[in-house]
Structures are given as structure tokens and as C-alpha cells.
Structure 1
């Protein structure tokens, strides 16, 4: 396996990795949207219009269908939007899963390329191949390949490693550009310059020879400062300000988390979307973990191994500082794992040169590598099977972390989406006992009570929440829905407050419009929908219901215009075609007043649907 990385060798390696990746992860091609995929992709109207792609550069709220979940990942969002434009709605999830697997293959190829470039002069490519295949198969990397929303990790890691490869080849402008692209996928890529510096420090030959001082790093510093200023402009409050936990708690929990994550990298079992570390409170375990890490750092700080470990762990800096709800997440370990395989591959190649000679492994080493790869492939394939169903991953999460309120909450979300409201309600209440009655959980419980038409229970719960959160739009919205059948005017007053506070909340705008029409204020209902549609012209349901309101008011030309707008957004929608046919029948009728009552009944049914 000797020789330099010729184009033919590179293509052969890419083909090998592609075949292995597709065979291993193909069950995901039939998998549904999971977890955060729902709010950030499936329910995100911003992704269904390629004309909005340029706005992703200046609108952090485009990240989600829920505008309060702002994140700045323009390149990631663009990849989703292009996928929708190419595949269409029906095949969108499958195409996104396919691209995720191919991105994992591309990152694996870059792992190979970085190790190969580091040992080109020796002609030793054995460990480059092992590093690329090993990373592809490693079970901890499988979540990123299987979970669509984890694409932020694979894309940012792809550009991060590409930036490193360009840097090692002394291609400074290319390295800088790739760093900027990485930032467009996820903010954690901001540590890339530290990674470049660290790799230069541990490799025997520096890539910055002939360049003095800080000069090579100047453009990277400018990029970092510009990015931080722009982020502050777009997102006024940072995650650190959310006070998920105190500084002392964050330090204590992270000490335990680091030990747990290192163990997970070395022994990737058990794997889950939620790990039990999330529920551990500060105590002796964290103190022991802190002392272990401190001792290890003291022993390794002046040794080559210490520098290597430091470089590998660079991507964990940002997640460790920011107090996130989920402390341990396998996809956050993705860049750590990739850099780890690069460093280990380079180190093993360096040690073999001059001892066994290039491309020589002992029989024992080959056996160990084969067994390890088979075990990893088996675990990764098992992950692919588990991630093929949404309920499966959350059943496993609640079994592995039974004391995690988040695991039960997300299991309840999945049960609710799969039409199991009774089981979902029980899971939400379990999460509530573990969480201490968080507002989001109470709102979810209220939503199920409304769905089950248990209006008195829902109203009682929402009224109690209103006393604690008197201006929260979500509480007011659910309280309005509970009161609507008995007190429609009181419900309308609540909905007016909600729409005033959140004018782009489509469900609230729709509920207000339908209630206004029910109370005989059709002009106000139409006006409210028109205002919302000026702000969100891609809102299909808004156009459809504006047409219903207009038609029931006898303004058939306005109804036709509204449905034409809806049809342009979703061509061939059966309900719209039926309404067009009905309007044509009305316009052809000899007496409009004879047709209108029959039409109104049909349109009323369409509105409810």
C-alpha cells in the first residue's frame, strides 16, 4: 500500500468509502424526520423557497419554523433548501439522509487525505487507509450520518479538515475561505485557527516556515472578530445568558462529562441520543473527575502525547463553555473523533517508519484491526437500524437514562406525532416529575388535553399557568383555544394579545381569523390573514383560508386570486382544484343566490380540513 496520493489512489479510496458508507447506513434512507428535524426542517417554511437563500446570511430566525429558536447557520440551511428544490416534498427526507451519509463519506476521505499527505514522503499509506476506514465505521460517528440535523457537525467538520489540509499545503487563502465556510455551518468551527496552530505544533515539519510571528494568523483573527460581531448583531442574547445552570454547576458537570465522553470514544457502548450524564448533579463524582483530568494534564503538558490530546480535544472547548441542556451528545464528538483519527494515523505512521518499514503490519496488528473494524461496523449497523424509527431511539433513550426528564419529554413528543396521545400524556407527566413542572412540558400536556377535547382540564391548567406567566403568548394561545367553545369573545381577546406579541405566529393568526369569521367579522378576518401573508408570502395555509373567507363572503374573484397564489406554491393540491371547480360552477350558474348556500357548506368543510 505504498506510494504517494495520486488522483487515481484518491478516487479509489473515495469509491471504497462510498460503497462501505452506503451499505452500512442505507436503512436511514427510509427513515423519517427525527427530534430537532421537525422544527428546523420539516416545519420550516424558509427552506421551501430558493429565493430566500440569500436572506439566510442576515436572518438567524430562518433556522427554524419557530422564530425564537434562532441560530446562524446559513450554509447549512442552504443545503436543506437545495435538497428540497431538487427532490421535492415527497422525497425530501430520503434525499437529506442520503446526503448526510455522503457527507460522512467525504469527511472520512479527508481524514485519509490528511494522514496520507503527512506521510507522502515516506510512501507509507497503510495507516492513512486505516484512519479513513476506521473513522467511517466508528459507532460514535454514526449519529451524525443518521440524524439529519447533525449535518451541521459533518459540514463544519468537512470544511474544518479541508481548511487544515489547505493550511498544511501552504494554501493560505484557500484555508481561510474554508474556515469561513465552516463558520457558516456551525459556530463551534470558530476553534479552527487553534486547530491549525496545534497541528503545526505537533507535526515534525511546520507548514509556516518562512513566515514570522503572527502574520499568517492575521486574516483568521479578522474573520473571527467579524463573525462574533455579526453574531452579536443577529442574536441579541447568547446561549450563555440562558442560565441553564450556574457557573459552578457547569464546571462540575463538565468534569464528569469529559471523562464520560473520553470513555465513549474509546468504548463506544452504549450509544443513545440521550446519555445518563445529563441527570448527574454536582458531587463527588465530578470532583474525582476533575482531579483525574488535572493530574493527567499536569503529567502530559510537556510531552508530545499531551499536545496531541490537546489538539484532538479542541472542538470540545465551545460545548464545554456553553451550558447546554444536553451535556453529552454523540454528534458533538464527531470533529473530535475525526481529528483523533488524523493524529493517531500520523503518529502510528511516524513510528513505523524505520522500524518495520513502510506498509508493513504484523499478523497480530492486522488481526486486531480486523476485529475492531468488524465490531465497530456491527455497532454502527445496529445504530442505523435503531435510527430508522423515531419511537425506537426514544424508547432506548428512556431505558438508558430513566432519570432524564429530556428523554421522557422527547419520547412523549414522538408518541404524540405518532398518534398515541394517552401514552404521550403519561410520558409528559413523567418528564414533569423529573423536571419540576417546566413551562414547556405543561404546554405540551395542555396541547394533548385540547387535542382530546378535555377542555375543562386544559382551561384549568392554562389558567394556573397564566397566573405565573401572564404575558406568555403560548399560555394565552392555549387558554384561548380552551375557552373558545364557551366564551368566544374572551378567547378572541386572548388571541388579539397573542398576535400583537407574535404577529408571525401562523397558528395564532389562523385561529384569530377563524374566530373572527365565526363571530361575523369576515372583513377583519381577511385583513388579518392578508397582513400575515405580506410578511410570510410562502404560507400556503394562509392563502387557502383567505380564499375560504373571501368565498364565504361572496367575493369569488378574491377567493380565486388567493387560491391561485396557494396553487403556485403547491401545484395540484386536490382541495384547491376542487375549490376552483366549485367557483367555476358558481360563475356559470344562472342564479348566484341559489348556489351560494351549497358552496358555503362545502367551503366550511374545506376550512376545517
Structure 2
């Protein structure tokens, strides 16, 4: 164990900082410490345990739900060498191997249960709160002040996104690594720990870098820890960290070039914009009453804009006060706050401000608050009571904030209300409404998104989808074409436009669009499935079968491909003979992957009825009809017809008639089919009169 030099005090952070607590007040007995930890755990669970009931959200879909790279741990090294494993969409490639590995391990243990993935987020947040506690102690804060800092960080609602949103795990993983690296480095530097702590600091930095690029700011924080000391400054100690940072940048430049695409705005515009974001962030931390997953915030094109000038004055004043009045602790934490915001401030990103960017910053500010509050907490019981009330309020606000994340519709409805000029809020709200079956409401949201952001390809794409669903195919085509004007490589728009021309029989356009789609993403299972559909419609059955099998080779869990291949094998369609068992197997797999797949359920029930098994057909229909997601939908309507047929085949005529009548009353069914079923109802009722 290394010992402190006799010429220096054993804890420079205490000697150089503004806080010098006495041993009697700064330490807690074993029982009090245990009681404090239990209370802190209870507060953390009260504030955030509701997250375990929430669902996957937006980026989670392509990073977790649709990401086939997570389905196997046979080659975990691929997460370290292939940035495309981060997402189901290669254009979203990012070098975050530790995060991807955590997704894969969670999937291996619990599949796609949102609660399991969110539990990892909650545990990581608790770990970060614990590291804040020990880091605060290392910086010289007494136990009570350090505990206050840890709870301020753990319970603050601005950090709720990192708990409730699986994809924000990269933020908490990186923060945990950076905070741990700071703590272990300071322990080693002040002589309170052996050289092992230095190695642990380097390891923690590596973990942070493997989680998110923002961890590159850590060497600057360590240089501040050296430069702000009154004596024994040894910046050479930071050289290995700088070497790791440079190596990381080289790896990212070579592996994740897609993540280094052309910036979305000029660098100076980015700097001015983030300059005015500083007081906005401080307001969110001080008054966390109108938090949102999306914020109304505009680009600042010039330094001379009044809000930018005022922000610059406020920032400079704050820096001056901290530098003049604060000691080592506050100066060091102030530098950490600035460097924590620096990566997102200097790198232009699509989202201008985001609450999860305050995660590490809030940890540093919480420690600074604990240090500033300690003189009052030590002397005044009223101050302690006030802090307890504040913590209780923060816990309640965090619990309420977590409830917003229980569904996409709740999350984006709030965002659209609080940020009416943010196009992403309306875009995602439209998606949530569409998923709930409210196509008209979705259409209004998509139109508003396209109005607010006419230069964004995704706004026109989603608007086109809603127009198609509401019976406006020509307007839908124009929207998809506008989407491709903004982004000629937009895969989904290419596929939907191909399907539109397929419906018109314009095969030259179909093959051209599918060829472009394959060029954009040759290993996309959906591209091959769409090719299979087109080949089947042009009577190339063998080509269609080959395309469907290729899609399933790329994604064995793709329900639609199983459904399409089953339809191809279905004897009722006349393409193949003697392959009814294979058709039944693929329909069953489609339902295993998507229990609400009404097309697979309808066709499987029909196949079973034709094979003389009405009991199995009845079971399939009842299972799918019982799903809440299918209530009052056209897909469910067809199942009432099959259920009626199954019941009639079992001699249960009265029950069959009830289901036939439900089918006939539905406007979603074709008129000719409804008329035929009505005739069957009359035939069955005739003997009963």
C-alpha cells in the first residue's frame, strides 16, 4: 500500500478544498451507515422501480428488438470489430461494443422482455449513484454531504431518461466508467490506495470508451485534477490516458467511418447553439417541471444573437465566480462539468439538446451542491429538513416522470404538447397513434411533422404510409417520392414505392426500385422478402421460394417471410403439391414470432379446416381474436368467419351463427364475401324456423 509523502497532507482534496469537516461529524457509525444505505435504496426504488413496467422506445427498436446481431453470443468479438452490430440498420453503425455486449447478454438471459433490459439500466444507475458517493468522499466531503450528493443525483428526474430508455444505457455505462476512473485515479494520486488503483482507473476509462465516445473527455478531467493542485503537480501521470484516447480515436476512424459522416450543421453554428443551451440545461436542473423527451430548440447562426450574448455573459460570470470563490473541489468539478458537455457541444448532432447529456454533468453538480450545502447541514437542523424535503420532491417527480415512459403514445403526446415546434415529437406521436390503430390521428401528426421539417426524408415517408392506409395511393406515392428526393438511399421509401408500382402492374419501375434497394442494403431480409412477393406475382414460383428462403436465412425470425413462404406452399394456392405440412409449420412459426399475425392465423385456420381439423382451427382463431391489439381490426374480422366455419364443422350451429353475424356486420370484409356468408346464415336458420 502506497503511503502519502510526509511533506504533504494525507488528503489534498480536503486540505485544498473549501470543506474540512471534523471526524465526529464527518463519519457515521456502522448502524447509521447501514440505515442510510437502506433508506437510499428505498428512495431509489421508489423513484425508479416503475421503469420495469415500461416498454421499448424508438431507437430501442433498431438497436435491440430488430437487431439480429444480438441473437447469439457465439462470436462476441464481432461487437468489438464490427460497428454495424450496434443496429439492425447499417447506416446507424456506432462503436459501442460494451453496450452491444450487454444487450446480447440480456437477450440470452431474458429475450426481448423490456423489464429485463430496463433492470440493467436501473442497476447501472444505482451503481453510478454509489460511485458518486465514494468520489465525493475522496474529494473530501463528509459522509452526510456525500450521501446528499449521491441522492441528489440518483433521484433527480432529469436522469429518468437514462433509467427508462434502454438505448440511454450507453450514457450510464460511459458515466460509470468515467466516474470510476476519476475516483480510482484520485485515490491513487493522493496516496490512499495502491498502484492497483491506477490500473483500475485505466481499465474504467477503457470501459467508458467502449460505451460511448463522450468518454474521450476524461484525460482533460485528470489533467485538471493535476493542474489545480497547490503542489505535487504531475501531469505526466495522465499520458497513458491520453494514449488510450488517441488509440480509441484511431480505431473509431478506421472502423466506424459511417459515424463520422458529414456534419449536420457548421461548427460555429453548433458552438453558438450549445452556448445558449447552457442556461437552458441549468434551468432544467433547477426547475425540472417540464421535462420532455424532445425539446423546442433552434440553431443559433451567429454569436451576436441576443440569447447567445446573454448566455455567454452568464457563463463567463459563473466561471469567474467559481474560480475566485471556490477551492480545489469546486474548480475541479466545474472543469468536469464543462468537459462533460464539450463532446456534444463541439460535434454537430441531429438533436440539439437532450436530457441524457446532463447525466455525468448532474453527478458533478450534485457533488458540488453537497460540498456547498455542508456548512449549513453541519450547523442547522432546518437545513437538513429542507434537504430531505427536496429529495422527497425529486423522488416523487422521478416516479411521475417514469409513468410517461409506459407507452409510446404517452411519451410522445407529452412531447408534442410541451414542444409543439419539434418535428420529431409529432413524427413519433404519429407512429404511436398508427400502432394503436388511430390512422386519422396519425395522419394529422405526420402532416404537422412534414410541415415543420420539409427537408427530412422520414417525415414524407411516414406521411405517405398514413395516406396509403387512409385510401389515398396517389398522394402516398408523391410523399414517398419527396422522401427519396431528400434521401435517395432511404430503403423503406424504395420498398414502399416498389409495392405501389407493383399494385399498378408497372414492373419496370418495380424491378428498378428493388434493384436500388438491394444495392443500398444487400443483406436486408426485407428486401429479399419483397423480391419474393414480386417474383410470385410474375409467376416465377421457384424464384419466389428462393428469395423467401434467402430472407429467412438472413433473419430466421422474420414472421412475414414465414407467412409468405407458407402461402407459397399452401395447397389451396396451387403452386406446390404435397407441401401442406410445410405450409402449416411456417404459419405456426409466423405466429410464434408474432402472436397477433392475423393473416397467418386466418390461413392456418383455413388450412386446418380443409385438412379436417376444426378443433385446432377453433383454437387458433380464439387465441388471436383474444389479443387486445387486434380488437375491432379488419384482420380480426376474417378470423370470425374462420371461427364460424370451425364451429359449424363441429355441429355448434348457434355459436357459428353468432360469429358469422359479426363478420357480416363488418365493413372491412368484401361485399361479395359478406353476401355469401349472409346466404349461409339464412340457410342455417331455415331449419330452425
TM-score (norm 1): 0.83
> Match for residue 650 of structure 2?
none
> Match for residue 265 of structure 2?
245
Question: What is the rounded CA distance, in whole Å, between the counterparts of 1:417 and 1:71 in structure 2?
Answer: 28
Identify which of 515, 518, 527 aligns with 2:546.
527
> Match for residue 270 of structure 1?
290
Compared CA separation, residues 470 and 115, structure 1 to 2 (3 A) = closer
2:58 pairs with 1:35: yes
Compared CA separation, residues 117 and 228, structure 1 to 2 (3 A) = same
> Match for residue 335 of structure 2?
310
Quick check: 1:513–1:525 contact (8 Å CA) kept in 2?
Answer: yes
Which structure 2 residues correspond to residues 160-199 of structure 1 after superposition, within 5 A?
A: 160-170=178-188, 171-199=197-225
**Further displaced range: 340-349 or 315-324:** 340-349
> Match for residue 458 of structure 1?
476
Compared CA separation, residues 467 and 401, structure 1 to 2 (3 A) = closer
Identify which of 77, 99, 102 aligns with 1:76.
99
Quick check: 2:566–2:587 contact (8 Å CA) kept in 1?
Answer: no
Question: What is the rounded CA distance, in whole Å, between the counterparts of 2:201 and 2:539 in structure 1?
Answer: 63
Identify which of 489, 492, 511 aligns with 2:511.
492
Cα-to-partner distance string for 1:51-83 (whole Å, 9 max, x where unaligned): 353321112122222221111111112222222
Which structure 2 residues correspond to residues 431-446 of structure 1 after superposition, within 5 A?
A: 431-446=449-464
Question: What is the rounded CA distance, in whole Å, between the counterparts of 1:393 and 1:571 in structure 2?
Answer: 24
Compared CA separation, residues 11 and 506, structure 1 to 2 (3 A) = farther
Cα-to-partner distance string for 1:316-372 (whole Å, 9 max, x where unaligned): 1101011122222111101101122234435655xx4xxx9xx83412211221221
TM-superposed CA distance for 1:385, in Å, is 2.1
Question: What is the rounded CA distance, in whole Å, between the counterparts of 2:585 and 2:170 in structure 1?
Answer: 37
**Further displaced range: 547-556 or 171-180:** 547-556
> Match for residue 421 of structure 2?
403
> Match for residue 130 of structure 2?
109
**Further displaced range: 328-337 or 366-375:** 366-375
Quick check: 1:526–1:550 contact (8 Å CA) kept in 2?
Answer: no
Quick check: 1:274–1:407 contact (8 Å CA) kept in 2?
Answer: yes
Cα-to-partner distance string for 1:166-214 (whole Å, 9 max, x where unaligned): 212221111111111111211111112222333455577x8xx6x9551
Compared CA separation, residues 428 and 464, structure 1 to 2 (3 A) = closer
Cα-to-partner distance string for 1:585-606 (whole Å, 9 max, x where unaligned): 99xxxxxxxxxxxxxxx9xx9x
Cα-to-partner distance string for 1:144-183 (whole Å, 9 max, x where unaligned): 1222221111121112112222212221111111111111
2:87 pairs with 1:64: yes
TM-superposed CA distance for 1:480, in Å, is 0.9
Compared CA separation, residues 101 and 558, structure 1 to 2 (3 A) = same
> Match for residue 276 of structure 2?
256
Length, aligned pairs only: 573
Identify which of 401, 406, 411 aligns with 1:383.
401
Secondary structure, aligned partner of 2:74: helix
Question: What is the rounded CA distance, in whole Å, between the counterparts of 1:118 and 1:480 in structure 2?
Answer: 62
Quick check: 1:513–1:526 contact (8 Å CA) kept in 2?
Answer: yes
**Further displaced range: 485-494 or 308-317:** 485-494
Larger RCO, structure (CA 8 Å, separation 6 or more) = 1
Cα-to-partner distance string for 1:354-397 (whole Å, 9 max, x where unaligned): xx9xx834122112212211221222122122222322222222
Quick check: 1:73–1:186 contact (8 Å CA) kept in 2?
Answer: yes
Compared CA separation, residues 151 and 278, structure 1 to 2 (3 A) = farther
Question: What is the rounded CA distance, in whole Å, between the counterparts of 2:176 and 2:286 in structure 1?
Answer: 22
Identify which of 522, 525, 528 aligns with 1:506.
525
> Match for residue 589 of structure 1?
none
**Further displaced range: 273-282 or 230-239:** 273-282
Quick check: 1:17–1:105 contact (8 Å CA) kept in 2?
Answer: no
Cα-to-partner distance string for 1:96-125 (whole Å, 9 max, x where unaligned): 2222222212211111122234448xxx31
Alignment gaps of 5+ in structure 1: 587-601
2:357 pairs with 1:332: yes
Question: What is the rounded CA distance, in whole Å, between the counterparts of 1:161 and 1:464 in structure 2?
Answer: 46
Compared CA separation, residues 251 and 201, structure 1 to 2 (3 A) = same
Compared CA separation, residues 451 and 43, structure 1 to 2 (3 A) = farther
Cα-to-partner distance string for 1:279-334 (whole Å, 9 max, x where unaligned): 77753212221233234435555663454322233211101011122222111101
> Match for residue 629 of structure 2?
none
Cα-to-partner distance string for 1:73-94 (whole Å, 9 max, x where unaligned): 11112222222222233xx111
Question: What is the rounded CA distance, in whole Å, between the counterparts of 2:73 and 2:478 in structure 1?
Answer: 44
Quick check: 2:443–2:463 contact (8 Å CA) kept in 1?
Answer: yes
**Further displaced range: 287-296 or 371-380:** 287-296
Alignment gaps of 5+ in structure 2: 1-23, 189-196, 612-638, 643-689
> Match for residue 96 of structure 1?
117
Question: What is the rounded CA distance, in whole Å, between the counterparts of 1:405 and 1:430 in structure 2?
Answer: 7
> Match for residue 288 of structure 1?
310
Quick check: 2:464–2:478 contact (8 Å CA) kept in 1?
Answer: no
TM-superposed CA distance for 1:427, in Å, is 0.9
Quick check: 1:131–1:341 contact (8 Å CA) kept in 2?
Answer: yes
Secondary structure, aligned partner of 1:360: helix
Cα-to-partner distance string for 1:192-242 (whole Å, 9 max, x where unaligned): 2222333455577x8xx6x9551x223212211221111111221445x43
Question: What is the rounded CA distance, in whole Å, between the counterparts of 1:114 and 1:581 in structure 2?
Answer: 65
Secondary structure, aligned partner of 2:432: helix
Compared CA separation, residues 140 and 232, structure 1 to 2 (3 A) = same
**Further displaced range: 411-420 or 255-264:** 411-420
> Match for residue 364 of structure 1?
382
> Match for residue 596 of structure 1?
none
Runs of 4+ in 1 over 6 A off after TM superposition: 5-11, 564-567, 569-576, 578-583
TM-score (norm 2): 0.74
TM-superposed CA distance for 1:442, in Å, is 0.5
Quick check: 1:492–1:516 contact (8 Å CA) kept in 2?
Answer: no
Question: What is the rounded CA distance, in whole Å, between the counterparts of 1:454 and 1:327 in structure 2?
Answer: 35
> Match for residue 437 of structure 2?
419
**Further displaced range: 391-400 or 491-500:** 491-500
Quick check: 1:279–1:403 contact (8 Å CA) kept in 2?
Answer: no
Cα-to-partner distance string for 1:432-458 (whole Å, 9 max, x where unaligned): 111134221111111222334432222
TM-superposed CA distance for 1:430, in Å, is 0.9
Compared CA separation, residues 476 and 201, structure 1 to 2 (3 A) = same
Secondary structure, aligned partner of 1:51: coil
Which structure 2 residues correspond to residues 42-53 of structure 1 after superposition, within 5 A?
A: 42-53=65-76
Question: What is the rounded CA distance, in whole Å, between the counterparts of 1:496 and 1:45 in structure 2?
Answer: 23
Cα-to-partner distance string for 1:398-429 (whole Å, 9 max, x where unaligned): 22221222222222222222222211111111
Identify which of 235, 253, 263 aligns with 2:256.
235
